[in-house]
Structure 1
Amino acid sequence: MPPHQVAIMQDSAPSQRQTRILDAAERVFARAGFHAATMQDVATEAGMSPGNLYRYFASKDAIIAGMTERDRTMIAADFAGLDPSRGSVLDQLETLGRKHLVEEPREKAVICMQIWAEASRNPKMAQMCAEIDGTVIGGLALAIAGAKASGELPPDLDDARFLQAVFMMADGFFCRRATDPDFDAAMAAETLFMAMRGLAQVLRLPAAETATP
């Protein structure tokens, strides 16, 4: 995908028309999948002509890049709002997690599954996923550092293993929600956040790594 196709999404927030297209594309992709869906399908869902759609996005890949960048920007803004001075960081992370895991429609989880599947064979899609993961990891790392400094989290918490565990649980949550129409997201979120809090207390660095000279 040529860089100019996604520059419009990376340099500024999406316009009202672009947002309408991205929202329409999410609905279409969730119903039909990336490969089966057509630009005509997206144009119809967005209530515009295909010619008008191509003025904003040159291809389905460009639309997917726009969707991914929009999500990355939103996630970055959410993590930027975390602040130990506003209270428990784990409470703030739980609120943030509920926003993305529970409050978002199930279609978002379906699209995530499609993106991950496509990333396994499409290097450009894999790069988009890596950029989102990098944004999440960076935000979590800063939040954990702040919680350690405030005394909320143990100073010897193994950050790497804790982040890995949180990622695996969240990924599993998305997969289950996408594939099981009867999945109880609210109840599962309670389990996930309880596990997150428990792991924050037991995933400690080995004593040899924390001992002072």
Structure 2
Amino acid sequence: MSAGSAVAARIDPSARREHILAAAEACFVRNGFHRTTMQDLAREAAMSAGNVYRYFASKEDLVLGLAECERARGALLVAELERDGDRRAALLGIITRYFVSITRETAILRVDIWSEATRNPAIAAMTARAEAEARGWFVETFAALARSPACDPAALYALLGPLMKGIIVDRALLPGYDPAAAVAQLLALLDAGLDGRLPLASTPAETGR
């Protein structure tokens, strides 16, 4: 954080929260969620632990805060990309932002949150809400862009969703990973699906599971 931002963080409560969240992100990426203590966060933020607790009662609150910031940034990006009414450009912009340009640090943090969601009900609920929102947007966008009645937007997302997550996992686990080939495959499958050229499996809702 720049000197000017640091000054703002001392004055504006919302800026101070952002300052603490940035420190938490750096600590979680460097040390992992469980190895990071509130004292580590306080040192990273150049604040006392007591001041950190004024804004976030626990590490869980910090994770939820980070996830909410990411959700808000995503919603803002979607709104900006959809402003001119070009749904395909918006879709490609989202894919570029989240799967081509994603930094390893962001991918590591996302995988850490997914891992914590397997043990923490509050984080699991937040992750489920985020997944439902993402699925809803993608399915609606696929439906708007479908070029054939044979296109099944829900089944197309069921096919592409795991590939999207796999790109993030590989970005987190493999130093120097280049997602270009995986993203090219993603786009090829997307175009085939929109054309109705994929033998898509039935979704759970369709099979009664």
Question: Which category of TM-score, normalised to the shorter sequence, fits these structures?
Answer: 0.7 to 0.9
Structural mapping, 1:145-164, within 5 Å: 145-148=143-146, 153-164=147-158
State the Cα distance separating 1:116 from its structure 2 match.
1.3
State the Cα distance separating 1:81 from its structure 2 match.
4.3
Distance 2:44 2:179 in 1: 28
Point out 4+ residue stretches in structure 1 off by more than 6 angstroms. none
Partner secondary structure for residue 20 of structure 2: helix
Distance 2:154 2:30 in 1: 36
Q: Which runs of 5+ in 1 are unaligned?
A: 1-13, 207-213
State the Cα distance separating 1:168 from its structure 2 match.
0.9
Q: How many pairs align?
A: 188
Equivalent residue, structure 2, for 1:7: none
State the Cα distance separating 1:117 from its structure 2 match.
1.3
Q: TM-score, normalised by structure 2?
A: 0.80
Equivalent residue, structure 1, for 2:88: 90
Equivalent residue, structure 2, for 1:49: 48
Q: Which amino acid aligns with 1:161?
A: A
Partner secondary structure for residue 86 of structure 1: coil
Equivalent residue, structure 1, for 2:59: 60
Q: Which runs of 5+ in 2 are unaligned?
A: 1-12, 202-209
Aligned identity (percent) is 36
Partner secondary structure for residue 199 of structure 1: helix
Equivalent residue, structure 2, for 1:195: 189
State the Cα distance separating 1:167 from its structure 2 match.
0.9
State the Cα distance separating 1:169 from its structure 2 match.
0.9
Equivalent residue, structure 2, for 1:173: 167
Q: Which amino acid aligns with 2:198?
A: L
The partner residue of 1:109 within 107, 110, 115 is 107
Equivalent residue, structure 2, for 1:132: 130
Equivalent residue, structure 1, for 2:204: none
Distance 1:21 1:103 in 2: 24
Distance 2:157 2:91 in 1: 12
State the Cα distance separating 1:154 from its structure 2 match.
2.0
Q: TM-score, normalised by structure 1?
A: 0.79
Distance 1:104 1:24 in 2: 19
